[in-house]
Structure 1
Amino acid sequence: MEPPSPDLVVGEDGLSRPLWACRHDDLREYYDTEWGMPVRTEQGVFERLSLEGFQSGLSWATILRRREGFRRAFAGFDVDAVAAFGAQDVERLLADAGIIRHRGKIEATISNARAAIALRTQEGLGAAGDLPAGSTLADLVWSYRPARTPRPVRAAEVPTTSPESAALAKELRRRGFRFVGPTTMFALMEALGIVDTHLVGSHRRGSSGVWE
């Protein structure tokens, strides 16, 4: 059966996926089970924020294949644990072949953990209005969910930024976060299910329960 979009590939299992999710088994597994599914915990959002930062300038496959190494190196992305990392930890991480050894990104991850802790005691504006003290990084990021999601048919129709991702990036930078540009934040929003950019006709379109 022909796929509903020329940018979808029908696999041997009869399911339609975009080309990028068909290149390797690990990418297909990630696409089928995780990408675009809602993540609402502080730790989960911090992990994905961190990995998106490390991915900048690299392929997602490169990061995905080092994911367990990142988890070991960064204490499972426990915000409080990472925030306590010091200079010795930075040197340890720079010597860890299981991750991307980029000093700026390593230091930004530690700095972002500290900013996430500070966020819990701050009040301020998110996209949905005032965020009370005690709000987490997840609360802030999800407050930028748009009123509607894209409905791309072709891969070229998938946005790389949005007004919401630009506003989220600006707010995160105001709160001390780093490596959080509008493009990186849009990729984060896609990964977390805040927007659904699965191509129309993909077997994953609408599967998150966040969007119809």
Structure 2
Amino acid sequence: MPRPAKGARLGAGPAHERLLLAQLASQLFEHRSIQTTEAKAKRLRPVAERYITFAKRGDLASRRRVMRSIGSKTVVHELFTEIAPLVAERQGGYTRIVKTGFRKGDNAPMAVIELVLEPVTPKRSSRSRTAAATAPAAGSDVPVEETNTIEESAPIEAETETPAAAEVEESAAETASEAPDVEAPAADEPAVPDEKPATTTS
């Protein structure tokens, strides 16, 4: 015995459910967005996206396949000529469901299902992000305006000698003049020790 599909069963049986979903898809393609119950919107989403996938192929077999379910030629023509080019760059996710609250009579949860026709902005992969971060920017060779500015520095004050510093300098000069002049050996000549006088033996 065949098992029913997962989710809410719409209508009295499978045939009625197929007709109901085909009619909802036709209304969705015609008006771009419709309001229905949340259960019907969730069951309509895969059906409508499958029809859009057929429309993106654009061949005659796909058009005839959609015409089996959607009987209106004007809706099918609009799907293949207007909606399919708008979602040509999109890789799935052609519909959007927005919950709108509860119905007044039986408190059923309501939702709006609409087509996503905005242009796609491709996401950059992580590899391209790291490559762009490491590569130098193309506009880095921008000429910088040169400005002729002269920086004025503060005038240097003359150093004033304190009396203690003057006394230290005078004492250093006196000790230098009193010290005997000792010739330092040249750097190239090795230091020779003093020779002892030769002793003569008689």
Instruction: Specify the TM-score bucket, using the shorter chain as the normaliser.
Output: under 0.3
Q: TM-score, normalised by structure 1?
A: 0.27
Q: Which has a greater percent of strand?
A: 2
Q: Which has a greater percent of helix?
A: 1
Q: TM-score, normalised by structure 2?
A: 0.28
Q: Which has the higher contact order (CA 8 A, sep 6+)?
A: 1
